[in-house]
Structure formats: C-alpha cells, structure tokens
C-alpha cells in the first residue's frame, strides 16, 4: 500500500466499506466507497479511500487500485439486502467506528474531487465543512437519511443536516427510494443546492439545476443485480461534472454506465473498459471553439 501522506490522488471517497451478506450466506465487500473507488479508477482517476473497518477485513480488491486509509475499528459494518418484489429491505450489523476530519491525511485536503458517501451516519458532517469551497464536493447522502432498530432493520429518517450540508455541495445524488417517493422533499432539497439528481431506477431520474427539474431516461437493460448502481451513477456524474460537462450530459454519461452495471453482480458491476468507451461524454466547448469535444473522463 502506498503511503497516504505522500500519495497524489484526484478522487477521494469517504465512508464505510461493508461486508454484504448474500442470499447464500457468503460475505462480499461492498459499500458506497467500494463501488465509487472502483468506478473512479475505471475512469482513470487516482483514488484515495478513507474508511473504517476491522483489521481482519479483506480490502485487497480496493488496495490494488486505490490508496487506502483504514481507521481502526473493532468491527466492520455488515449489511444484508433482501429484495422483495423489486423493493429492497436492509439490515445492518456491527457498525464500524465513525469518520471525522482527523482521519484525513494533510495532503488530501487539496484533492480535486471529494465524495462523501455515508451508508449509516458514519461520516461526520464536519467533513463537508473541511472541504467546502476548496474542491468539487459530491454528496451521496443516503447514509444520513436512515437509521436502524434493535434487530438491525434499516428504516428512513429525516436528513437533519440537510440545511447545513446542501449549500456546501457542488453536486448531490440520491434516489427516490432514499426520500420515500416524496417529490416535494426533493424539490425542497433542490432549492438549497445548485445541482441535485434524484435517480429512479427503471424510470431514469430527474436533474434539478438551480431548483429547476429536467427528467432524463434510463438505458433499458436486463437487470441481474441493482446493488451499487446508484453509487456508480453518482461517481460517474461527479467526475463528469468536475471534467467540465454540462449537468444533463453528465446524467446521460452516468446513466449509461449505471445501466450496464446492473447486468452483473457485486463489485464486478463496476465499469469495464469497453463500457467506458461506449458511454461518451460531451464536454463544454473550449473557449473560442465552435464545436463540443467528445471524450471519456479518463482522457483528461
């Protein structure tokens, strides 16, 4: 592993890695940080991860592609996703230690893109203050919008930090499931931040730009496993926006990659080179040029 105090990165994702329990009882690596890190690496970014997990957690799939800061914890957050008629029920066990700004190596304060991806309220909101105004700050706030009962059953809870965090963000991505289908709440959030995307699975999603909504379609595919698709969408969207894409072009690029992800299972759903090549991204025209450029974010 590269020393994080000397590693140069351009995409930092912060949140818990997880052990995800599959239907056959196996435990596999998951969590927003895992899907985001592998997606960013596939898009040509040098990736850093700040997470918390037990010493025996096998993070080798990430360690080969990212610079990893693992904060000590007696346990690793464990999730079980159960899909019933297309609806996901979640259970969470053994949450790992929380993450605060003290975990961030000093050189990573200047990382060009920072992605806060909590899964269960583990990211201290002070992390957003730490980066606000210094970098492109992307939020996937689902972890601030849920809690669990004594059995570990996950249920939605109000995002109490929204009023503080939304104005700090460069872009925010959440799903319609995260807000219980409440479009009034989505519009309320959108009025507090410049760029908000609400994804809707098969139905595409809605981009709110300065509070104004524009629907965008999904790419039709045969779904095998939707786990991680939202994280892949968000990462691709943040990178596209930070690369200079117009927001609607960024949604098309992200939706293209996210659609392909649901045709595979687990971390194998993160983008393959041919998929990145098949999802071109239209960037803003260069100053003085009359034509837009088309490239993938990994082309610089």
Whether residue 22 is predicted with pLDDT greater than 90 in this model: the reply is no
Segments making up each domain of the chain, as ranges = 11-299
pLDDT at 2 over 70: no
Q: How far apart are CA 148 and CA 157, in angstroms?
A: 9
Please give the structure tokens belonging to residue 222. Answer: 């045969």
CA dihedral in degrees (59, 62, 65, 67; nearest 10)?
-70
Q: Which residues lie closer than 8 Å to 274 by C-beta, 6 or more apart?
A: none
pTM comes to 0.90
Measured CA to CA, the distance from residue 167 to residue 161 in angstroms comes to 11
248-282 tens-digit pLDDT: 999 999 999 998 887 777 787 788 898 898 888 87
Residue 3 confidence class, pLDDT cut points 50, 70, 90? low
pLDDT at 95 exceeding the cut of 90: yes
CATH number of 11-299: 3.40.1190.20
Strand partners of residue 113:
11, 136
pLDDT at 6 over 80: no
Confidence of residue 295 (pLDDT cuts 50, 70, 90): very low
Instruction: Reply yes or no on whether the pLDDT at 85 is more than 60.
Output: yes
């Amino acid at each position: 592993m590269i020393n994080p105090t000397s590693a140069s990165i351009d995409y930092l994702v912060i949140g818990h890695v997880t052990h995800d329990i599959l239907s056959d009882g196996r435990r596999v690596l998951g969590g927003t940080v895992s899907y985001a890190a592998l997606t960013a690496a596939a898009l040509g970014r040098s990736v850093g991860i700040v997470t918390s997990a037990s010493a025996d957690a096998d993070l080798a799939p990430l360690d080969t592609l990212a610079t990893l800061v693992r904060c000590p914890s007696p346990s690793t957050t464990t999730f079980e996703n159960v899909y019933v008629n297309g609806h996901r029920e979640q259970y969470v066990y053994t949450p790992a230690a929380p993450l605060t700004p003290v975990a961030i190596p000093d050189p990573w304060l200047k990382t060009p893109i920072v992605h806060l991806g909590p899964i269960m309220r583990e990211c201290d909101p002070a992390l957003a203050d730490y980066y606000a105004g210094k970098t492109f700050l992307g939020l996937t706030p689902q972890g601030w919008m849920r809690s669990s009962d004594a059995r570990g059953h996950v249920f939605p809870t109000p995002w109490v930090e929204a009023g503080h965090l939304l104005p700090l963000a460069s872009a925010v991505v959440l799903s319609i499931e995260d807000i219980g289908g409440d479009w009034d709440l989505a519009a309320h959030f959108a009025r507090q931040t410049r760029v908000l995307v609400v994804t809707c699975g098969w139905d595409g999603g809605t981009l709110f730009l300065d509070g104004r909504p524009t629907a965008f379609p999904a790419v039709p595919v045969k779904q095998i496993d939707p786990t991680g698709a939202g994280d892949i969408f968000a990462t691709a969207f943040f990178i596209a926006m930070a690369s200079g894409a117009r927001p609607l072009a960024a949604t098309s690029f992200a939706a293209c990659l996210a659609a392909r992800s649901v045709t595979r299972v687990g971390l194998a759903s993160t983008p393959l080179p041919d998929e990145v090549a098949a999802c071109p991204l239209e960037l803003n025209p260069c100053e003085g040029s009359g034509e837009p450029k088309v490239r993938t974010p990994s082309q610089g």
